[in-house]
Structure formats: C-alpha cells, structure tokens
C-alpha cells in the first residue's frame, strides 16, 4: 500500500523543513535500479507527497540553516541562475533538452538506437502563450499548462524530473482579486538541494509572469507541488539526520 503524505506549509523554507522531518517518519527505503546512482546506494523516499505552500513569495526564498556541520541546501546565486535557465531555451551540446527549452521553445528530436536526431522547433512558446491569455483576463479556464515531459523522454537515459507546470487563476473573495497559483509535478525530486532551488526558481518565474501580465486584478498565489519520488540520500541524508536530531 502506498502512503501518501500531505504537507501544508507557510513558505518554501517551512515546506522544506517539514518535508525533511516527515521523510524520516513516512519515507521508505528505496533501492535505485535505474537512473542516477543506480545500484550504488539506497535512499529514503516518499511513496507520494503533496506540498501546499500558501505564501511561496516570502523572502528569503531559500532555507536558512544555523546548525553546525550542516551546509545550506542552496544560495541566492543558484536561484538566480536557475531562473535564467527556466526563461531561456539554450541547450548545450552535451544536453538533450533543458526545462527552459521545453517552456520557451519546445523541439521534437527523433531518438533511434540511443542517437538523438536534429531538433525541429514546434513553433510555439508555451510561456508566452500562457502570459498572453492571462493578459486578456481569461481567468476562468483550466487549459493554461506548460508541459515539460514528452513521450519520447522514455527513450533517453536522463528524462526530465519536472514534468508539468500547471496554472490556475482563482478569485479571492476577501480582496476581490484573482490569484495566480502553480500546480507542479515532479516524477523524481531531490529533497535536500533540489526542492528549495526548484521551488524558489519557479516562484520567481511566476513573479516574472505576473510582471509581464501587468494586471491589477491578478496577484501572486500559492504553489502546490506533487511528487511520487521525493527522496534524500548520500551525504544529504547525514545532514538531514543532524538537522532533525535523528539517530
């Protein structure tokens, strides 16, 4: 039986700390048979987790740690670099894809016998298209989704962890304004360093979208993140034990 876990957090730092504590209570030992660190070590992993973050824009966006022997999981420079990565479609020669490419200029690549063919642009920019719809005030819909995953990802050795960035505008009756919410899905997700960096970057991406939309009736909202593979292992697991006083 799966053991789904729900975390209700105030901000990104709170979400990260709650998840670190929860994985020792609800996580299971998981042996990696394919993918990163396959057959090298076991990790602690949630069966399934939903993390609601009510105020993801609260600064600082990354967790602050003041525990001897425990390094911070990320820093502001890394968050800035990650935002640039999300907002551009640059793909290096050694890369099959980037999240930024899938968000801004998705391309089809035929993969055969492990070889990647020439990239063909799909002639669309999902990020710009979503922004334009919200600029028009088209809030009452569930269609404005930015997909990262593609069917052909099953053919590559390191498929995207982030698969989906969905959006929803919901009326806040207390203020009379709509809030822009993100619903995000990660198939696999590194809890220690990945979660705070990813969420901070995605929150800044949401703020960038709101600047571009530039409507007084649409303001920042929540992030709800889902994963069936949120995990922690290696040195990070030891840091997490120190942070949470685990034996």
- Per residue in 25-65, pLDDT (tens digit) is 999 998 887 766 665 577 999 999 999 999 999 999 999 99
- Per residue in 60-102, pLDDT (tens digit) is 999 999 999 999 999 999 999 999 999 999 999 888 899 999 9
174 φ/ψ angles, rounded to the nearest 5 degrees:
-70, -30
Q: How many angstroms separate the CA atoms of 55 and 74, rounded? A: 19
Whole-prediction pTM value?
A: 0.95
Torsion-angle region of residue 160: left (phi > 0), alpha (psi -120 to 50) or beta? beta
């Amino acid at each position: 039986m799966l053991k789904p876990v729900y975390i209700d957090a105030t901000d990104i730092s709170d979400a990260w700390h709650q998840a670190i504590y929860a994985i020792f209570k609800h996580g299971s030992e998981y042996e990696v048979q394919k993918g990163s660190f396959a057959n090298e070590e076991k990790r602690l992993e949630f069966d399934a987790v939903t993390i609601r973050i009510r105020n993801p824009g609260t600064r600082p966006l990354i967790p602050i740690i003041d525990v001897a022997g425990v390094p911070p999981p990320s820093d502001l420079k890394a968050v800035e670099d990650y935002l640039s990565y999300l907002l551009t479609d640059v793909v290096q020669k050694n890369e099959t894809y980037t999240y930024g490419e899938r968000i801004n200029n998705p391309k089809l690549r035929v993969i055969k016998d492990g070889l990647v063919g020439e990239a063909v642009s799909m002639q669309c920019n999902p990020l710009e298209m979503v922004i334009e719809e919200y600029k028009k005030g088209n809030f009452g819909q569930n269609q404005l989704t930015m997909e990262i995953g593609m069917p052909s990802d099953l053919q590559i050795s390191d498929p995207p962890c982030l698969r989906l960035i969905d959006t929803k505008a919901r009326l806040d009756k207390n203020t009379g304004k709509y809030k822009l919410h993100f619903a995000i899905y990660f198939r696999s997700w590194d809890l220690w360093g990945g979660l705070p960096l990813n969420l901070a970057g995605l929150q800044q991406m949401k703020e960038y979208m709101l600047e571009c939309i530039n409507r007084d009736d649409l303001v920042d909202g929540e992030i709800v993140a889902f994963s069936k593979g949120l995990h922690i292992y290696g040195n990070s697991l030891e840091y997490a034990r120190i942070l949470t006083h685990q034996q």
